[in-house]
């Protein structure tokens, strides 16, 4: 970087007498001048007899007068919009201007202005407690909010203290001779290049103060009495205000996360951070330290006696060391959590939350993992706990396009801020969503009803099937789960109390190639036919005919199986010939999970009578649907009408439309296929080394890993599955378990998971299995 410009030029050299004269002749202020410290300007405190204090600020000759005008205008704006923020509004001179021109004894021209001198004292970081820091956060945000619409052509100038220009300072890194320090600095600069620079164009930008530090703040009676020095203002990323202040607050303190947490909490009460801003904050703080170090390295040889320039470098190194000790990535995640979940600085202890959870009653299914997780936010395939620890989510299928996907969040927020009503009013999004779902289905499935959960969708499917067929029997796989309503809990053997089969429900075996009727069989289709015929006969014994067979395309609850089209054709053909409708339950398997089109049933080559959709449909926002043929719905409509208050509401539809858009635009179906294949390949390799892995199966990004007791004939090892699941969680990777015996590891991540993340799942599972042996 060139050493010209304001930071490169000598400060002005006026004497106190000249300062007094200037104040008297131009501003009519009679006072005694004492010089104040300044980095690049010359400031004089003018004490008047009337007890008023003023500061005569004479700018560096290299300072562009337009910049000073900008400062004066910005301060006037803040004073107008936030009258109780103590900002220095310039006093007009004899000609009515607030910025005047002054000639120094050496003959150089300078711009000068007279600002009020605020009473109060500077405080040190240690003087501030958490409420003080929180209120500083609020104040910085208010200051920036007042400048939100502020424009001045001078704001586009390049200044070294604007973090967006950090790369220009990198050439001064050679002045850092200590190899360890140099490596640390390079790491920070590399993180800035890799993480911050590409995001910069997306960050909210405006004119900001950029230098609200304790050096520029005065305090009186426990409150800020003066905000000084608008000289580093720039049009830059809004969030850069935060590291600028934090740097000052953290000096000589070790409670990095407490201070940061309190500050961002206060800031967020006025301006909540966007997630990308929050996620970069740790790196921005480190970058601000690097900036300080580089500016100091550059300027020190020229002004070695100016402590203002040199005094910040050592504290900057100290803070960088603190961040490095935690790990830049981890520190960044923790800071992001603090910024995005105000109050997370002091989350209720987990033990306390667990105890208080008793209010939810004992029927609620238990918390997952030996050490339950207290998660507070998510992004992509990652979730973060209250302490900021990151977990790779290789389990949840609901956030199908990734946690908190910005497009889905935005769609929900936009519609929620407009209107949320119901399907008794006209609304285009529910119609558009219906049309898009129909267009994604095979021809014939042309009618959609919206509800709010997979259970409700299956319940309506059951009502359709019983109405249309006049029959009252249901057939499901032996360990199926289809939902919670009274009718559907009956059709969910995995939920049957004490395993007792309700009247009117028959089961077929799961298509397990290693067990039961499908074991070692050459002709699965015939077996399937026989199994279904058995189920129909069971119903007939209770005087029932089958109204419907419900099947999850991937038999998730049964232990994850992806049977052949032949086998399925056998099952469905037989059920249909007994008069049953086929309900394809796509609540688990839909929305691209199978990696082969949007819908799992499609690979079977048969047309379902009814399809139910749910869980991933709104990426976490509740919405579900029943898709069927118009004639089936017409038969139902002849008997009754259907209305669900929330079903198909505009907010839910906006979420579901955004999900379909993202799946398409981000190529997530193809990703499910490729990353799923990579996972299964890696798992098969692991199976070669660990005989406890009895089978690896699934489709797309639904992967099952069956664990068996070594040396037995595939005896299920549920205890091992539980242990592996818990150990993976301890190592930061979340998976589940499923199957009748609970011995099948369920790997079912958001479809946005990448190859590196899949490798992390494999690596962690490998570590866990090795740890078991040692």
User: Applying CB under 6 A, which residues contact ligand PMP?
Assistant: 453-455, 458, 481-484, 552, 556, 585, 587-588, 614-615
How does strand 581-585 pair with strand 546-552?
parallel
CB 229 to ligand PMP: min, Å: 56
Q: Report residue 442 as tokens.
A: 């095979």
Structural contact between residues 344 and 261, judged by C-beta atoms closer than 8 angstroms: yes
Contact 590, 599 (CB under 8 A): yes
Question: Nearer Cβ to ligand PMP, position 251 or 615?
Answer: 615
- Cβ(521)–Cβ(702) below 8 Å: no
Smallest separation, CB 491 to ligand PMP (Å): 10
Which pair of structure tokens corresponds to residue 615? Answer: 């869980």
Query: Residue 763: how many CB atoms within 10 A of its CB?
Result: 14
Of residues 618 and 694, the one with the C-beta less far from ligand PMP? 618
Q: How far is the CB of 752 from ligand PMP (least distance, A)?
A: 20
Min CB(500)–ligand PMP separation in Å: 21
Nearer to ligand PMP, 288 or 615 (CB): 615
Which of residues 416 and 484 has its CB atom nearest to ligand PMP in the complex?
484
Q: How far is CA 263 from CA 93, 129, 140, 241, 267, in A?
A: 38, 11, 9, 11, 6
**Local structure of 101: helix, strand or coil:** strand
H or E stretch covering 720: helix 718-730
| Residue with smaller CB distance to ligand PMP, 43 or 455 | 455
Shortest CB 477 distance to ligand PMP, Å:
10
DSSP β-bridge partners for residue 208: 234
Nearer to ligand PMP, 15 or 502 (CB): 502
Q: By C-beta, is 586 or 757 nearer to ligand PMP?
A: 586
DSSP string, 136-188: HHHHHHHHHHHTTT---GGGGS--TTSGGGHHHHGGGGGG---HHHHHHHHHH
Cα separation of the two ends of the chain: 56
Give the total residue count for the chain.
774
Q: Give dist(CA 659, CA 401) in Å, integer.
A: 7
CB-wise, 585 or 757, nearer to ligand PMP? 585
Residue (290 or 623) nearer to ligand PMP, CB: 623
Residue 44 in contact with residue 34, Cβ under 8 Å? yes
Shortest approach of ligand PMP to residue 555 CB, angstroms? 9
Q: In this structure, are residues 53 and 47 in contact, taking their beta carbons and an 8 Å threshold?
A: yes
Closest CB 286 distance from ligand PMP, rounded Å: 42
| 701 contacts: CB under 8 Å, gap ≥ 6 | 593, 595, 672, 675, 676, 679, 747, 748, 749, 751, 753
Comparing CB distances to ligand PMP, the nearer of 397 and 764 is 397
What CA–CA distance (Å, rounded) separates 732 from 250?
Answer: 30
Minimum Å gap between C-beta 550 and ligand PMP is 8
> Minimum distance from CB of 364 to ligand PMP (Å)?
13
Rounded Cα–Cα distance for residues 166 and 189 (Å)? 8
Q: Quote the crossing angle between the two packed helices 256-270 and 130-146, to the nearest 10°.
A: 40
Residue number with the smallest Cβ distance to ligand PMP = 454
* Rounded Cα–Cα distance for residues 126 and 729 (Å): 38
Q: Which two tokens stand for residue 620?
A: 């976490």
Q: How far is the CB of 267 from ligand PMP (least distance, A)?
A: 37
Nearer to ligand PMP, 482 or 544 (CB): 482
CB of 455 to ligand PMP, least distance (A): 3
């Amino acid at each position: 970087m060139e050493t010209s410009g304001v930071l490169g030029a000598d400060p002005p050299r006026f004497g106190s007498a000249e300062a007094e004269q200037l104040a008297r002749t131009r501003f009519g202020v009679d006072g005694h001048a004492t010089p104040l410290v300044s980095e690049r300007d010359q400031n004089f405190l003018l004490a008047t007899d009337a007890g008023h204090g003023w500061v005569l600020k004479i700018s560096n000759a290299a300072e562009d007068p337009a910049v000073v005008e900008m400062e004066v205008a910005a301060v006037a704006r803040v004073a107008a919009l936030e009258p109780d923020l103590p900002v220095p509004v310039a006093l007009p001179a004899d000609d009515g201007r607030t910025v005047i021109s002054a000639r120094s004894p050496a003959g150089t021209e300078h711009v000068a202005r007279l600002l009020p001198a605020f009473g109060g004292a500077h405080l040190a970081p240690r003087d501030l407690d958490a409420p003080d820091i929180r209120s500083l956060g609020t104040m910085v945000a208010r200051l920036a909010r007042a400048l939100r619409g502020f424009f001045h052509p001078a704001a586009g100038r390049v200044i070294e203290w604007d973090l967006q220009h950090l790369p220009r300072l990198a050439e001064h890194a050679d002045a850092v001779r200590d190899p360890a320090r140099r490596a640390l600095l390079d790491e920070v600069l590399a993180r800035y290049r890799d993480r911050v620079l590409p995001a910069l164009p997306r960050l909210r930008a405006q004119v900001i103060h950029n230098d609200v530090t304790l050096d520029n703040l005065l305090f009186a009676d426990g409150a800020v009495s003066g905000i000084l020095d608008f000289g580093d203002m720039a049009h830059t990323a809004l969030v850069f205000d935060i590291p600028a202040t934090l740097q000052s607050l953290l000096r000589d303190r070790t409670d990095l996360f407490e201070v940061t947490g309190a500050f961002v909490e206060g800031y967020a009460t006025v301006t909540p951070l966007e997630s990308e801003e929050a996620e970069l904050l740790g790196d921005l703080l480190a970058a601000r330290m690097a900036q300080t170090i580089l500016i100091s390295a550059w300027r020190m040889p020229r002004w070695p006696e100016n402590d203002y320039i040199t005094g910040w470098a050592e504290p900057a190194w100290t803070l960088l060391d603190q961040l490095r000790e935690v790990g830049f990535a981890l520190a960044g995640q923790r800071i992001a959590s603090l910024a995005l979940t105000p109050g997370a600085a002091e989350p209720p202890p987990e033990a306390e939350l667990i105890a208080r959870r008793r209010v939810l009653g004992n029927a609620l299914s238990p918390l997952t993992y030996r050490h339950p997780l207290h998660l507070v936010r998510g992004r992509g395939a990652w979730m973060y706990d209250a302490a900021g620890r990151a977990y790779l989510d290789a389990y949840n299928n609901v956030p199908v396009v990734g946690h908190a996907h910005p497009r889905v969040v935005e769609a929900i927020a936009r519609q929620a801020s407009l209107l949320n009503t119901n399907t008794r009013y006209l609304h285009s999004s529910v119609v558009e969503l219906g049309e898009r779902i129909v267009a994604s289905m095979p021809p014939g499935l042309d009618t959609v009803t919206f509800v709010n959960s997979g259970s409700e969708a299956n319940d309506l499917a059951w009502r359709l099937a019983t109405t249309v067929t006049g029959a009252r029997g249901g057939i499901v796989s032996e360990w199926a789960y289809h939902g919670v309503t009274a009718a559907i809990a009956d059709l969910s053997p995995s939920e049957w109390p004490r395993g007792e089969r309700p009247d009117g429900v028959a089961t077929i075996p799961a298509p397990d190639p290693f067990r039961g009727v499908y074991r070692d069989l050459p002709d699965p289709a015939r077996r399937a036919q026989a199994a279904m015929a058995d189920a129909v006969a069971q119903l007939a014994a209770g005087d029932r005919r089958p109204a419907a067979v419900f099947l999850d395309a991937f038999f998730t609850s049964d232990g994850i199986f992806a049977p052949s089209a032949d086998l399925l054709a056998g099952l469905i053909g037989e059920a249909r010939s007994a008069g049953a409708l086929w309900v394809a339950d796509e609540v688990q398997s839909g929305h691209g999970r199978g990696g082969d089109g949007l819908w799992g049933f499609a690979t079977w080559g048969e047309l379902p009578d009814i399809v139910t959709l749910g869980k991933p449909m709104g990426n976490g926002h509740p919405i579900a649907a029943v898709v069927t043929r118009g004639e089936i719905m017409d038969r139902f409509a002849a008997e009754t009408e259907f209305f669900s208050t929330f079903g198909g509401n505009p907010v839910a539809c906006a979420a579901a439309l955004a999900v379909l858009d993202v799946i398409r635009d981000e190529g997530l179906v193809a990703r499910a296929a490729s990353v799923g294949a990579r996972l299964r390949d890696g798992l098969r390799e692991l199976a070669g080394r660990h005989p406890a892995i009895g089978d690896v199966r699934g489709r797309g990004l639904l992967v099952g890993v069956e664990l068996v007791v070594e040396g037995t004939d595939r005896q299920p090892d549920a205890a091992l599955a539980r242990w592996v699941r818990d150990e993976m969680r301890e190592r930061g990777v979340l998976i589940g378990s499923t199957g009748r015996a609970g011995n099948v590891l369920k790997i079912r991540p958001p479809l946005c998971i990448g190859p590196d993340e899949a490798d992390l799942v494999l690596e962690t599972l490998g570590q866990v299995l090795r740890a078991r042996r040692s």
